[in-house]
Chains A and B, each alone.
Chain A
Amino acid sequence: MSTAAAVRGTPTGSAILPDRGGLSGALSDIFWRRPKLLLFLMLLPPVLWLGIVYLGSLFALLLQSFFSIDEFSGLINRQFTFKTYGELLLPSNLDIIVRTVVMAALVTIASAIVAFPIAYYAARYARGRWKALFYIGIMLPLWSSYLVKIYAWKLILAKEGILTWFFGKLHLLWLIDAWLSLPIVGGNSLSVSFTGTFIVFVYVWLPFMILPVQASLERVPTNLVEASSDLGATPGQTFRNVLFPLALPGIVAGSIFTFSLTLGDYIIPQIIGTSRLFIGQAVYAHQGTAGNIPLAAAFTVVPIVVMGFYLWGAKRMGAFDAL
């Protein structure tokens, strides 16, 4: 109907059609003759937006990390200096960085271990309705509200909460108490210990690990696993020598998310955790009440650099094909 109406004029028998009438026709002809112009016009709005709003802000932030703060007046001294980066190496600040990176690494490893069976089952065994159920079952927690998820864990880990009740029913309360009396990982209750922080991090980022691992496992041909067992490998050997190497790009792809998200988060350790800071909290504290934007900016460079190396390594392992 509409395409018929679009044919203007009669066929001329010539390869050159007459110009279309009207503004839209003329524009359309111009774009057809000069596809580069159309491409340019299509790219202009998104590139302008992201270039100005995002890259511009990032650049402004980086610039400020080379400023320093005057200790006496508290004013920002706009002179190029590496002094602020030097402050990062103070023991107290170095502590924060090491703590965050170790936490990110532990969270990544734990997520991979918990994610693998779910991903493997979904990729290999779940069919039809079960497949859809698994898909929804992973997407729902992924897209559920981040704060609500943290809130749920606050309810669970609270001293009067469900976890204490559950262990009490099993007469295992001594187990929690023993764990909490350990140095570093322990604390007054689970909701103010690093253990709590760790559990919540794993919970919140787990779906980001499952999806790429599942995607990489979907691509493993079933007969490869069968061939391995036909050739006499035990399930453990098949996992080590066949499945794991093939799933590794997916695991690395997932770890980009778990690692990066843990590095930058400041809300989870603030709500469930100890008073010892993570990078995100340090950034927040320095830019907020302290007004020390240069140091906050220098702190944000740490995750950028760590992630830069991480992405570089991940790219070499072929993780980006698994995304």
Chain B
Amino acid sequence: MRSDHPSAPLGLKIAAGAGLLFLHVPLLLIFVYAFTTEEKSYQWPPPGLTTQWFAVTWNRPDVWQALGLSVQVAAISTLIAIVLGTLCAAAISSTKFFGRETISLLVILPIALPGIITGIALRSAFSLAEIPFSMWTIILGHATFCVVVVYNNAVARFRRISGSLVEASMDLGADGFQTFRHVILPNIGTALVAGGMLAFALSFDEVIVTTFTAGQQQTLPIWMLEELVRPRQRPVTNVVAMIVVLVTLLPIFAAYYLTRDGDQIAGSGK
């Protein structure tokens, strides 16, 4: 049994520990920089600590506007992705039909190909079709690659629901909609919520496709990108970065707790 081997070789421990440190130290630094008094450079160690930048950021209308747009886009894209992803997962897992593999490939493609391809493809399609840029063009792009996240979660759950449950419900006289409402939905519910949260996090953070599908509108990542390319208000950027880390962590923890019984082993993060 595995429990016969309680301890790992020292070299492995050090390598694994160093790897985890490499993954986490940069994120922790963000939290320190949010409190620095230094305005003009990225000086380390911080010359002093202050909380004044939180108040400054709070009073910035451009940050609030970007945040508002990001939340709207993420919410609508997530809703679309939940509907499309669940339908697709239900169809794929309930029956075997010709072209099944092709459809699952089609769902995965938007995230398997580099984002820049999705972005420029959408942009050139918008210009060919003469669709003006708006919030809806951003949503169109985001929903497309969010489908796969919901789909992955839903497919994993559908596989675990045994078909006999549905048959039993039908045998007991429930019609298709009642079976869906009272048998299938409670079973896939948590997977959908988890998938939806991850889709929300994905959309909230997306920048590559968005740069191509947004016109004048700024989502929060676009706002950050501007600051990264041409730093103007470093302290405000530090605070926004910290808040973004905190906001994206919540859905991840929640999604983890909702799906932790068994789905997670095979790397459900993609």
Which A residues contact B (CB, under 8 angstroms)? 2-3, 6-8, 17, 20, 24-25, 27-29, 31-32, 35, 38-39, 42-43, 45-47, 49-51, 53-58, 60-61, 64, 114-115, 117-118, 120-122, 124-125, 127, 132, 134-156, 158, 160-162, 164-165, 203, 206-208, 211-212, 214-215, 218, 222, 235, 256-257, 260-261, 263-267, 270-271, 280, 283-284, 287, 293, 296-297, 300, 303-304, 307, 323
Q: Which of B43, B85, B198 has the most CB of A within 10 A?
A: B43
In the complex, the answer to whether B244 meets A218 with C-beta atoms within 8 Å is no
Given A143-B269, A158-B42, answer yes or no on A267-B23 (Cβ-Cβ < 8 Å).
no
Show 6 A/B contacts (Cβ-Cβ < 8 Å), sorted by A. A49-B144, A121-B16, A124-B8, A147-B205, A265-B208, A300-B120
In the complex, the answer to whether B124 meets A57 with C-beta atoms within 8 Å is yes
The answer for the CA separation of A267 and B178 in the assembled complex, in Å, is 49
In the complex, the answer to whether A161 meets B44 with C-beta atoms within 8 Å is yes
Given A28-B175, A120-B12, answer yes or no on A144-B245 (Cβ-Cβ < 8 Å).
yes
In the complex, the answer to whether A2 meets B182 with C-beta atoms within 8 Å is yes
In the complex, the answer to whether A218 meets B265 with C-beta atoms within 8 Å is yes
Q: Which of A160, A162, A256 has the most CB of B within 10 A?
A: A162
Distance in Å: Cβ of A134 to nearest Cβ of chain B:
8
Q: A141-B24, A152-B26 given. 18 additional CB < 8 A pairs? A: A3-B174, A7-B173, A28-B176, A35-B95, A47-B103, A50-B107, A50-B147, A118-B20, A124-B2, A124-B5, A146-B205, A155-B30, A260-B112, A265-B208, A266-B116, A297-B120, A303-B113, A323-B270
In the complex, the answer to whether B175 meets A152 with C-beta atoms within 8 Å is no
* A280 cross-chain contacts in B, Cβ below 8 A: 114, 116
In the complex, the answer to whether A323 meets B267 with C-beta atoms within 8 Å is yes
Distance in Å: Cβ of A90 to nearest Cβ of chain B:
20
Interface footprint category on B: 35 or more
Residues 43-96 (chain B) with a chain A CB within 8 angstroms:
43-45, 80, 83-85, 87-88, 90-91, 94-95
In the complex, the answer to whether A212 meets B84 with C-beta atoms within 8 Å is no
Given A2-B178, A57-B122, A60-B124, answer yes or no on A125-B7 (Cβ-Cβ < 8 Å).
yes
In the complex, the answer to whether B24 meets A264 with C-beta atoms within 8 Å is no
The answer for the CA separation of A263 and B110 in the assembled complex, in Å, is 15
In the complex, the answer to whether B228 meets A154 with C-beta atoms within 8 Å is yes
Distance in Å: Cβ of B82 to nearest Cβ of chain A:
11
In the complex, the answer to whether A264 meets B26 with C-beta atoms within 8 Å is no
Residue of B nearest to A163 (CB): B44
For the complex of A and B, 7 pairs with smallest distance between CB atoms: A264-B114, A211-B267, A117-B15, A28-B175, A152-B26, A57-B125, A121-B16
Is B207's beta carbon under 8 Å from chain A? yes
| Secondary structure dominating the interface of B | helix
Is B248's beta carbon under 8 Å from chain A? yes
The answer for the CA separation of A32 and B125 in the assembled complex, in Å, is 40
Given A3-B169, A39-B95, A143-B248, answer yes or no on A211-B113 (Cβ-Cβ < 8 Å).
no
Given A42-B91, A53-B140, answer yes or no on A6-B174 (Cβ-Cβ < 8 Å).
yes
In the complex, the answer to whether A3 meets B172 with C-beta atoms within 8 Å is yes
In the complex, the answer to whether B91 meets A58 with C-beta atoms within 8 Å is no
The answer for the CA separation of A143 and B1 in the assembled complex, in Å, is 34
The answer for the CA separation of A257 and B267 in the assembled complex, in Å, is 13
Q: Which of A8, A28, A265, A297 has the most CB of B within 10 A?
A: A28
Taking a contact as CB atoms closer than 8 A, the residue among A144, A150, A162, A265 that contacts B228 in the complex is A150
The answer for the CA separation of A24 and B177 in the assembled complex, in Å, is 7
The answer for the CA separation of A207 and B118 in the assembled complex, in Å, is 22
Distance in Å: Cβ of A249 to nearest Cβ of chain B:
13
Residue of B nearest to A118 (CB): B19
Residues 168-186 (chain B) with a chain A CB within 8 angstroms:
169-170, 172-178, 181-182
